[in-house]
Each structure stands twice: as structure tokens, then as C-alpha cells.
Amino acid sequence: MTIIPDTPSSLRLTPISRLAAAGRWRVEAMRALREPVLLWFTQGQGRITVAGSTRGYGPNNAVFIPPGTMYGFEMAARVQGTSVFFGRNHGLDLPSTPQFLRPRDPISQKELVAILEAIQRELESARSGSRKAAQHHLGLLGVWMDRQLERERALETLPHRPAAAQQLVARYASLLERDFRSNRAVADYAEALGVTPTHLTRVCRASCGKSAHQLLDDRLHFEARRLLSETRMPIKHVAEMLGFNSAGYFTRAFQKNAGMTPSAFRKKPAGPVVPRI
């Protein structure tokens, strides 16, 4: 099966409030990118689901998401902040697992803001060496995260070990991201994980409020919308790529999820131009 690759990416910063400009599905549906992402929330609150686990976020919260990790988050009107897309060739030693950071002291918060402002300033500069300078500031962002993780570990009285249910959901999310185009059913994933479909659904609901089937369906339909909006691939080929048995079945499933047919979705006027997310 041929997979359409993501657009090659480089370092960029985008206001969180603009991420949903081309459709709320771009932030709220489950998706995964091939580059690391840091979300820095400065205003508002909501819930974010990363690797199958849902947690609340609020002002002065940062969430680091490694490449290939499924995530999606609520986008309330008052949510503000900055999203950092590292690019694929960032050259940094970054965490391999999702990280939820809550810098409690104003100094740490100001340090992060200063680093982000410096990156943005260099990205917008026409001076020679500006891209190189931005990458150096990105390295300081990596150092900032390392220090925050050290502080948070120091505050823990006991080593943190994820509960068995959370580990199971994280494994499911990883398998789902790898195989969601394969037309595998939840029962197939449950068998691969050594549990029953009922148990898998129960732990998914407890971890993120969605069933195992809803997570799978959400990931499929995000990819369907992405392909419809970003490529001119015939609808029947989109259906084949996503593992649907026929274009008709894909159309019915898409319409049930999106409230319109794939053709109607593709014909919708494009939203404001925003950096690719």
C-alpha cells in the first residue's frame, strides 16, 4: 500500500489559537506527526489526549509529544499559547515518551517565553545565519525541558510507574498508529495485545473517555480529511489507502462522521492559510 508522506517540515512556531483555523478537526481529532511538538498553553483550559490517556491542561502548562504519538486536544475559544514544531531534522536528544510539564516558578516560565520569542525573532529575520541561530535557540529549549524534567522527578517521593491500564492503552495507541490503514478491527488489536475487546474498550474509556473503536474511527477520519484537503487523490483511492472495502462504504462512513460526503468536504472553501500542523 502506498502511503502519502507528510509535507517535509522544518522548525516553525504557530499560535495555538490559529491551529484550528482550517477546521477544528485539525486539533481535536486523533492524529500523529513525524516530528516532535511542544504545546505551551498560556491561557484557557481544556483536556488533551496523548497516547490514549487524557489529562487536563491550563495556563503555564507545556506538553511535549514525540513523533508518531497520537494526540488531540479540546480547542476552547479562550485557549492561547504557542505550538513549537521541531521539524524532522532537529538534531536534538529529546524525550522518547510524552511529557506533561507544569513549571511552577515564574523564572522557569519567563525562561521558556524568552526562548520562544528568540526562536520566533530569528525565524522572521532576514539576516544571514538566522536559521542557524533559531536552531541554537531550539537547543536551549531542549535544555529547558531537561531541567524541568529533573525538577519534577526531584519532587516525586516515589518513582512513577504508569498503571497497567495506562500501559495497555498506550500500547494500543501505538499499534493503532502503525496499523490504522490496514482495515484491522478492534478485536484484532485486542488479540495482538492479549486481552478481550471488552477489556480494551473498558480501559480506553477509563483512560481517555473514548472507546477503542472511537479512537480507531477518529484516527481514520482525521487521515481521510487530511488526504481530501491536501491532495487531489481520487476518492476511491483514498478509500483504498485507508483500508475501506469500497468507495461507497467509505463515503457512508465519512458522511456519518463528518456530516457531509467526501466530495462536499473537498469542495468546502479553504480556511485561512496557516503553517502545516
Residue 149 has pLDDT above 70, yes or no: yes
Looking at every residue in the chain, the average pLDDT score rounds to: 90
Which top CATH class is 12-155? mainly beta
Banded pLDDT at 261 (limits 50, 70, 90): very high
Residue 7 has pLDDT above 80, yes or no: no
Share of the chain above pLDDT 70, in %: 91
Does CATH number 3.40.630.30 belong to domain 164-267? no
Give the burial string for 81-120 (b: 16+ CB within 10 Å, else e).
bbbbbbbeebeeebeeebbebebeeeebbebbeebbebbb
Measured CA to CA in angstroms, residue 261 lies from 220, 223, 245, 270 at distances of 15, 15, 17, 16
Report, as an integer, the average pLDDT of 99-106: 93
Banded pLDDT at 143 (limits 50, 70, 90): very high
Domain boundaries, the chain: 12-155, 164-267
Residue 160: its pLDDT value, please? 54
